[in-house]
Chain A
Amino acid sequence: MKKQAEVRNDSLVYPGSYVPLMDDALASKKMRGIIPEKISFPLVNIIELNDSYKMEVAIPGTRREYIRISVDNDIITISLVDEDSKHPIKNSFLMHEFEYTCFKTQIKLPEFADPEFISAEYKTGILYMYIPKSSEKITVQHKRIIVY
């Protein structure tokens, strides 16, 4: 299978259930067609704990496979491409205040954070991320974080 060989290293998920994640090229292609004004930004809470930062991104009604997180230097990028979401006919909305099908948001990490060991988990509509603190400045070139 030629297709298999093309699967990039960072598009693999954890063992257990094999769900191929969207690779960078495909995701950016999907993002390109979206009108910027239509993108809603998710709400974010950041809590400082003793040894880490806890980030809570509210993305209700999606699945962990659609969430992509990557770290470049000290910028953390969270994007969502939900392809399967059913789009009801636009004018059947009597009230339309939220839509979480596609977004991209970037957050700057605190100075003394360790991007190498960020863990991410999607639970009850919230993406929880734990960013450990570090004693010195750590920078990573590019790192993909898998959501569990």
Chain B
Amino acid sequence: METSTLVNRKENLAPSLFNDFFKPWDEWFDNGVWLKSINTPSVNIIESNNHFTVTLAAPGLKKNDFKIEVEGNILTVSSETEKEEEEKDANYTRKEYSYSAFSRSLSLPDDVNKDKVEATYQDGILKIELPRLHEKKIDNKKYIPVK
């Protein structure tokens, strides 16, 4: 199952067992109010026939701030930017996010071509394209023509 291998959230250590036992309550956790820290950017992964697209919402950074590594089957996106002086003693009256330093890892499925991974950063979204080695047909539907 690609779904389970690609999804590897560091902070989401609570096992699936949790979901079953605390059904109405786990929504609190799902919403990320408790478990998700303010400096972990959100990730979307979209699967298509010939590639996976990983998008990471980390606004307010520069493209040079990102460090993307593939080690074995693990894709790690991290960022460590020098905080400006102004930022350090800023008087926050409300602080809900801070993406200046983070690290997120995802384990990749086997059929990713690791040599052709490409990343772009635009409008606060880091987009990583991971081509597949073999094209996979997702569409299992069979269309039957009417004679």
Contact = CB atoms under 8 A, between A and B. Distances in A.
Nearest to B126: A60
Contacts of A44: 94, 96
B46 A58 contact: no
Contacts of A43: 38, 96-97
Interface in A90-118: 92-100, 110
Contacts of B57: 58, 60-61, 97-98, 100, 125
B93 interface: yes
A33 interface: no
B124 A58 contact: yes
A121 interface: no
Contacts of B98: 45
Contacts of A94: 2-3, 6-7, 45-47, 52
Contacts, number: 100
A45 B59 contact: no
B64 to A, nearest CB: 13
Contacts of B60: 56, 58, 124-126
A88 interface: yes
B6 to A, nearest CB: 5
B42 A98 contact: yes
B91 A93 contact: no
Given A60-B58, A61-B124, A46 B46 contact: no
Range, interface on chain B? 20 to 34
B48 interface: yes
Interface string B96-109: 11100000000000
B59 A124 contact: yes
Contact of B123 (A60, A92, A96): A60
A86 to B, nearest CB: 10
Nearest to B8: A95
B91 to A, nearest CB: 4
Contact of B48 (A60, A62, A92, A125): A92
A95 B93 contact: no
Given A46-B93, A100-B57, A125-B60, A92 B138 contact: yes
A12 B48 CA distance: 40
B136 to A, nearest CB: 12
Nearest to B49: A92
Contacts of A98: 42-44, 57
A130 interface: no
9 contacts: A58-B57, A59-B124, A60-B59, A61-B55, A61-B57, A93-B45, A94-B6, A99-B44, A124-B59
